[in-house]
Amino acid sequence: MRRPFILMALLSISTTVPAAERPNVLMIAADDLNDWIGCLKGHPQAQTPHMDALAARGVLFTNAHCQSPLCNPSRTSLLTGQRPSSTGIYTLVPGMRQVDTTHEAVTLPQSFGRAGYHTSVFGKIYHDGSILPKDRAAEVTVWGAAPGMPKPKERLSHGNWDHPAMDWGVFPEDDTQQADWKIADAAIEQLKTLPAEKPFFMGVGFRLPHVPCFASQKWFDLYPTSTLQMPPVKENDRDDVPDFAWYLHWKLPEPRLSALKQYNEWQPLVRAYLASISLMDSQVGRVVEALKATGRDKDTLIVFWSDHGWHLGEKGISGKNTLWERSTRVPLIFAGPDLPHGVSCSQPVELLDVYPTLLELCGLPARSDVEGHSLVPQLRDVATPRQWPAITTHNQGNHAVRSEKWRYIRYADGSQELYDMVADPNEWTNLAAKPEYAAVIHDHAHWLPKIDLPAAPGSQHRLLERKDGEWFWEGERIVPGELER
């Protein structure tokens, strides 16, 4: 008879529990999924019955944020338990094993492997190419890092963007050709053959709704153009944000809202993003159903997260790479037979918290090199206050601090933004310059990371550079007030 997870955590006898009695972990991740899922209400029409069902049988964190609004730094942070500002990994490269700060880090799956778990990872859990073959051979079996996807003969979207991934539309006809279908298939096959005598840790990382946002017609049919609701967007919303925010986000492959409008692609992109989410959600459902079929769901903790959010027109852009809510807020759900059912927690929490939470829930020893904080107190009682805000970092020196009520952003040049997330959930009015908010800013600035490492070799911003205290953009000195918006 296994001990209930919560009881294990409460009694602090956890590390004496034999490995065979520990709960299993099924960790499911999505790529570039913002808060557009039914239970988070980020988009009023999002149809995600399987993620919603997971939330209904578990705990939904409604104020969860990534540590970096980009795949590699976000995943490296979650998997090593360290902030981007503590590792210097800020961009898509280098991988965690190419950097001194994380070369020897014991990742979350490895912790479980070393504790005697059967440990496997399917699809995109680690950022593609971020780990070395030795990681695969050691405690973790990694499958299908990048399964091939068929490509349409010609790009389906029409516009002046030419990045190969920047595409969306009805494709292919058959969902079984989708990478996410194949990832789910592989995970389902493994679930059927897992050894019964030891607990398992399985990571399943889906690729949608990351671009290209392709899905078959039936998923688009869920979102008819005639009734599609577009995200709330304010004209000239960026007029009151600092120049530095513009420099930080310039020249990314994702189209700007102005280009999407020019080519009549804004609505098709919103539709395709929603369709991709629903397709991915259906694969979450397949995997959870397969777990149930094994009978091991009764002893399995399920955690679901996305690596960061995505803009669909808000603040004039599409894509990630910002310190605003649309880019940092992510779904985070914990479900298990001994966790509360159907409750939500509005405390600010971080993806960094996943690592210590899973260790504690499974009775594994805590790690001193892990910077997050266990969410077990909130999983016991969602009203338990949490003293820490959620912090997101985007390249060295740019941080967002999200508390229950506020979002404070400090850029590397010292410029700031402050939003009242209760009165102004769309972050339309930057309050940072108003003297009456000085105390709020002071309180939030207190949480800015004390360790703020320069970029690791190869992880610098492509275009921004600081020399002798001055900022340069593509080699040109930035002159305040000269930015052409």
Q: Which of 46, 55, 59, 71 binds Ca ion (CB under 5 A)?
A: 71
Between 22 and 75, CB nearer to Ca ion: 75
Query: Given the rule CB under 5 A, which of 114-122, 142-150, 163-171, 232-240 is the region that contacts Ca ion?
Result: 232-240
Between 100 and 240, CB nearer to Ca ion: 240
Shortest Å distance, C-beta 237 to Ca ion: 4
Near Ca ion in 408-437, by CB under 5 A: 428
31 binds Ca ion (CB under 5 A): yes
Q: Is the peptide bond before 172 cis (omega within 30 degrees of 0)?
A: yes
Shortest Å distance, C-beta 86 to Ca ion: 20
For the beta carbon of residue 326, count every other beta carbon within 10 angstroms: 25
Between 135 and 237, CB nearer to Ca ion: 237
127 included as an active-site residue: yes
Between 185 and 237, CB nearer to Ca ion: 237
Near Ca ion in 290-309, by CB under 5 A: 307
Q: How many residues bind Ca ion (CB under 5 A)?
A: 7
Q: Which of 240, 289, 369, 470 binds Ca ion (CB under 5 A)?
A: 240
| Category of 306 on φ-ψ map: left (φ > 0), alpha (ψ -120 to 50) or beta | beta
Task: Classify burial at 154, counting beta carbons within 10 Å of its beta carbon; exposed 0-12, middle 13-18, buried 19 or more.
Answer: exposed
Query: Given the rule CB under 5 A, which of 70-78, 215-223, 448-456, 457-465 is the region that contacts Ca ion?
Result: 70-78
Q: Which of 26, 32, 125, 456 binds Ca ion (CB under 5 A)?
A: 32
Largest CA distance in the chain: 69
Strand locations in 316-440, DSSP E?
318-319, 329-335, 343-345, 349-350, 390-393, 399-402, 406-410, 416-420
185 binds Ca ion (CB under 5 A): no
Near Ca ion in 148-177, by CB under 5 A: none
237 binds Ca ion (CB under 5 A): yes
Q: For the chain, what percentages of helix, strand and coil (3-state, to nearest 5) are there?
A: 35, 20, 45
What mask of x and - would describe binding to Ca ion in positions 117 to 146, judged by CB under 5 A?
------------------------------
Shortest Å distance, C-beta 66 to Ca ion: 9
Shortest Å distance, C-beta 281 to Ca ion: 17
**Helix count (H) and strand count (E) of the chain?**
15, 20
Shortest Å distance, C-beta 83 to Ca ion: 17
Residue 387's contacts (CB-CB under 8 Å, 6 or more residues apart) are none
Residue written as tokens 């009694």? Answer: 11
Between 237 and 265, CB nearer to Ca ion: 237
Residue written as tokens 């096959």? Answer: 189
Distance (Å, whole) CA 401 – CA 392: 7
Residue nearest to Ca ion (CB): 71
Shortest Å distance, C-beta 205 to Ca ion: 10
Between 321 and 378, CB nearer to Ca ion: 321
Residue written as tokens 């669909």? Answer: 312
Between 316 and 363, CB nearer to Ca ion: 316
Distance (Å, whole) CA 131 – CA 393: 22
Which residue in the list 39, 66, 71, 345 is annotated as catalytic? 71
Q: Any bridge partners for residue 401, and if so which?
A: 391, 408
Q: Where are the alpha helices (DSSP H) in 12-99?
A: 49-56, 71-80, 84-87
Shortest Å distance, C-beta 154 to Ca ion: 26
Q: Is the peptide bond before 209 cis (omega within 30 degrees of 0)?
A: yes
Which residue in the list 65, 127, 210, 399 is annotated as catalytic? 127
For the beta carbon of residue 189, count every other beta carbon within 10 angstroms: 12
Cite the active site residues: 71, 127
Sites of contact with Ca ion (CB under 5 A): 31-32, 71, 237, 240, 307, 428
